[in-house]
Amino acid sequence: MTETASSDRRADVEVRVPADGAYVSVIRTTTAGLAARLDFTLDDVEDLRIAVGEACAVLLEQADDGADLEAAFWLEPGGLVVEIGAAAATPSAPDEDSFAWQVLTTLADSVAADALPGRLRVRIGHGATPLDAGA
């Protein structure tokens, strides 16, 4: 799984919803469906779904009124890269001591955040545990 997938090629799946907590479930459900399609274990699907929910929480704190949450997904052999972003007038790096960030970094294999001019984005990479890992 590569963390640079977003700069290398067009996303395999893209979803845009209003930056409102009521719509985060759409991004979480999309994440779970794609992870299941890649044969992630149930634990990995749930970990990634929760991590994406926490990333959305981080973004919603800074998103502009009327902004959208934009999620892009790259399906890779044995993994999934998710990038979620939102327009933010004065974006700042997430508080790495916050509960949401701690949960996010614990559940995902890789996490990065970028505070760009007018935009905040979070990138999550997670690999699938081989189905026979517990054997």
pTM of the model: 0.88
pLDDT at res. 113:
96
pLDDT at res. 128:
85
pLDDT at res. 135:
47
Q: How far apart are CA 99 and CA 104, in angstroms?
A: 9
The average confidence (pLDDT) of the chain is 90
Q: How far apart are CA 45 and CA 35, in angstroms?
A: 6
Q: Is the pLDDT of residue 133 over 60?
A: no
Higher confidence at residue 132 or residue 20?
20
Q: How far apart are CA 59 and CA 78, in angstroms?
A: 27
CATH architecture of 11-109: 2-Layer Sandwich (3.30)
Q: Starting from the edge strand earliest in sequence, which strands make up the sheet with 79-87, in order? A: 13-18, 68-76, 79-87, 119-127, 110-116
- For the stretch 42-86, pLDDT in tens is 999 999 999 999 999 999 999 999 999 999 999 998 899 999 999
Q: How far apart are CA 50 and CA 46, in angstroms?
A: 6
- Encoded tokens for 134: 């517990």
